[in-house]
Amino acid sequence: MMPTEYFLAHMWLIPLFPLAGAVLMFFLGRRLSRAAVYAICVGSMFVSTCYAFGAIWQLMARPSAARLVNFNLFTWIPAGMIRTHAGGMMNFSVPWGVRMDPLTALMLAVPTAFGFLAHVYSARAKARVGGDYRFFGYLNLFMFSTFTLVLANNLLLLFVGWVGVGLCSYLLVGFHDVRKAAAAGNQAFPVNRMGVDSGGWLVRMVSRPLMAVDSGVVDGLVNLVAGIAHVLSFPVRMLQTGRISRYALFMLIGVVIFLGYFLHAAGLPLTNRLP
């Protein structure tokens, strides 16, 4: 790492700025003024945006063969030596780290830019209707989960970010009314119709078969997929009670099942670990 690559060397700070803003909102937000809430939450996202685009710029300035940076901050699942199904031994440990490559840079730029704009827009909207520190805490936590998902250097850490994004999405969608969170599920398969300009005869001639295909084939397929999804989602709808504690319990059970399956696939009955 070259001395001039400051942002690349400190890219692990990108998720921590919005996390710090979320922690402040959850513990001290009630005591803060509206202006302080906006300054902390929007400001933390602005700093993360600067670090993210700085790291992207410095990565792309490298030669193509050197565009890979990986940091392991600490080990968050230390398991020691384990025995595999094949009878061999392996050192199983999962680090908490970040990784930057050209694909990560592309996936990082889009949510960072839109996340910062969402913070700015939300601050302006909340200034008119009355802000709430919990909303901006959820928004900062959403960006922390997004950065963790994008920058994760292993699949388990990616899974943590994915679960966090799902939880924060539910909290944000149903912030004012929990019922809106369930209603948002019915909008998961929007049908985007193509608008055609009727200014010229050539456009009308081309648009007629396209509209016929759109209404006869595309809409039919979308309606078929939506109908199948509606039928298959019946067990999920039965579990939608509108209580956050119930959803948090389901997510916890899912995480435990996933980790148990992962350890089993890794070949470890935990009783086979060496001392």
The predicted pLDDT at position 5 comes to: 85
> Which of 94 and 57 is assigned the larger pLDDT?
57
Q: State whether residue 5 is helix, strand or coil.
A: coil
pLDDT tens column, 100-123: 999 899 899 988 999 998 888 888
The CA-atom distances, in angstroms, between 72 and each of 15, 51, 151, 153, 154 are 14, 18, 11, 8, 10
| Closest-CA residue to 144 (of 68, 57, 41, 247) | 41
The predicted pLDDT at position 78 comes to: 75
Task: Report the distance separating Cα 22 and Cα 265, nearest Å.
Answer: 35
Looking at the predicted structure, is the pLDDT value of residue 228 above 50?
Answer: yes
Residue found by looking up tokens 């790291």 in the block: 55
Do residues 180 and 174 lie in contact, with contact meaning Cβ atoms separated by under 8 Å?
yes
**Overall size of the chain counted in residues:** 275
- β-partners of residue 95 are 75
The predicted pLDDT at position 274 comes to: 43
Task: Report the distance separating Cα 91 and Cα 134, nearest Å.
Answer: 42
Do residues 167 and 71 lie in contact, with contact meaning Cβ atoms separated by under 8 Å?
no
pLDDT tens column, 188-218: 334 333 333 333 444 455 445 555 555 555 5
Do residues 87 and 272 lie in contact, with contact meaning Cβ atoms separated by under 8 Å?
no
Residues 6 or more apart in contact with residue 133 via CB below 8 angstroms: 25, 29, 30, 32, 37
Task: Report the distance separating Cα 40 and Cα 211, nearest Å.
Answer: 49
What pTM, to 2 d.p., does this model score?
A: 0.63
Q: List, in sequence order, every beta strand (DSSP E) within the chain.
A: 69-83, 89-100
Confidence band for 242, pLDDT divided at 50, 70 and 90:
low
Burial group, residue 87, by CB count within 10 angstroms (0-12, 13-18, 19+): exposed
Do residues 53 and 112 lie in contact, with contact meaning Cβ atoms separated by under 8 Å?
yes
> Which of 68 and 200 is assigned the larger pLDDT?
68
Helix, strand, coil percentages, rounded to 5, for the chain = 70, 10, 20
Q: Is the dihedral of CA 44, 16, 151, 134 positive or negative?
A: negative
What is the chain's Cα-based Rg? 23
